[in-house]
Amino acid sequence: MNKKVNKTKKQAINIGIDLGTSNLLVYVDSEGIIFNEPSVIAVEYGTNNVIAVGHNASKMIGRGHNGIKIISPLNQGVISDMDSAKLLIEIALKKVESVNIDLSTSTLLVCCPSEVTQLEKNALIELALKLGVHDVFIEEEVKAGGIGAGLDIYSSDGTMVVDIGGGSTDIGVLSLGDIVVSESVRIAGSYIDNEIINYLQYKHGLLIGNKTAEIIKKEVGSLREKIEVEKTTSANGRDIISGLPKKITITETEIRDVMTEPFESIASTILKVLQRTPPELSADIIVNGIVINGGGALIDGVDEFLKKRVTLDFHLAKNPMTAIVEGTKLLLKNRGSYFVKPTD
């Protein structure tokens, strides 16, 4: 009696990675997004053995002990720990292998913040080669994010994207398949969290951690000038005088005042980019408006705030948190060409 042997042949496929300060996302053709977790890794001191990655590692931030080291490989849009960044990507690619993909014949695209240096890009390419991926290339996040937000960057019309991420805000004007003018400022989600931490320390005498600051930002963060119903939230931390646990109430108005200055800086950077934009593309942006991507797009009233200061229309991306990795789909299809938009 012949036994049936079920051998599924591994296949070559396109893989896109969004290496963000806050989150690491992995897209695979025909599978969609298979990995979407915080860019955090927990290792054991001394041995550097991996204890946790992503969500599980993020839960340990501010709660660990001397035997555990919690690492965020990217800081303010820059790779601050290359070894940990490599390890994080390696773990993500092992997740890809679980869906029966032949890495040696696949194509890998890694999207990085604009501030990542050529040396760091080369190191990431070298890592991919060591992991068995022979065809790998790097693109900037603002470009992939524009595609993922639904913009036709291959058109001659100018489009503009403001990607307010975790570590940096990347601003780019796109046309004919590539970036024409761009600028990056290290004012984004993490910077705002630190501003909230500083405010609570000096105004309320309360010490809090980054996770608590992020929760406060999500719960009562707003940039609207007129607040109809004031939202409040609790902030738990340590009193700087007594050293004892302390709980206070924070208002939406307080956090709006904290966030105003950082977003004024972002607005100023947008204006600088517009001043360097060719006149024909500027005319297109007046008509098309500007798209906001990244976690900053989730802050209530961000479009209203920027519109008032820049005097142009701003549109929130429908998928601000996943636009970059979704944009890798088209970039992978269009490997090596900036002028022709591929057909599906």
pLDDT tens by residue, 226-277: 888 899 999 999 999 999 999 999 999 999 999 999 999 999 999 999 999 9
Q: What is the pLDDT of residue 6?
A: 45
* CATH number, residue 107: 3.30.420.40
Q: Which one of 258, 282, 304 terminates a domain?
A: 258
- Indicate if 317 and 196 belong to the same structural domain: no
Which strands form 169-175's sheet, in the order they lie side by side?
Answer: 178-185, 169-175, 159-164, 290-293, 314-316
63 burial (CB, 10 Å; 0-12 / 13-18 / 19+) is exposed
Domain membership flag for residue 5 = no
- Indicate if 273 and 309 belong to the same structural domain: yes
Name the residue among 76, 78, 93, 83 with its Cα closest to residue 41.
Answer: 83
Q: How far is CA 261 from the centre of its chain?
A: 21
- Indicate if 28 and 80 belong to the same structural domain: yes
Domain membership flag for residue 2 = no
- Indicate if 226 and 97 belong to the same structural domain: no
Domain ranges, residue 309 = 150-186+262-321
Q: Which amino acid is at 56?
A: N
Paired tokens of 28: 């695979």
- Indicate if 22 and 132 belong to the same structural domain: yes
* CATH number, residue 231: 3.90.640.10
Q: What is the pLDDT of residue 339?
A: 53
- Indicate if 177 and 317 belong to the same structural domain: yes
Domain membership flag for residue 3 = no
- Indicate if 317 and 281 belong to the same structural domain: yes
Among left, alpha and beta (phi > 0; psi -120 to 50; other), residue 75 is beta
Residue that has been written with the tokens 């960044």 in this structure: 85
What total number of domains does the chain contain?
Answer: 3
Residues 6+ apart with CB under 8 A from 116: 77, 78, 79
Q: What is the pLDDT of residue 73?
A: 87
Continuous H helices in the chain: 55-58, 82-97, 118-130, 141-148, 189-204, 210-220, 252-275, 279-288, 302-310, 323-333
Q: What is the pLDDT of residue 333?
A: 84
> In the 8-state DSSP scheme, what is residue 295?
G
Domain membership flag for residue 1 = no
Sign of the dihedral through C-alpha 246, 214, 21, 24: positive
Domain membership flag for residue 49 = no
- Indicate if 252 and 267 belong to the same structural domain: no
Residue that has been written with the tokens 């200061």 in this structure: 309
**What is the distance between the alpha carbons of residues 190 and 209, in angstroms, rounded to a whole number?**
12
Enumerate residue ranges in the chain where pLDDT < 70. 1-9, 97-99, 336-344
- Indicate if 93 and 120 belong to the same structural domain: yes
Q: What is the pLDDT of residue 4?
A: 47
Write out pLDDT tens, residues 70-106.
Answer: 999 888 777 888 888 888 888 887 777 666 778 888 8
Q: Are 259 and 251 in contact (CB under 8 A)?
A: no
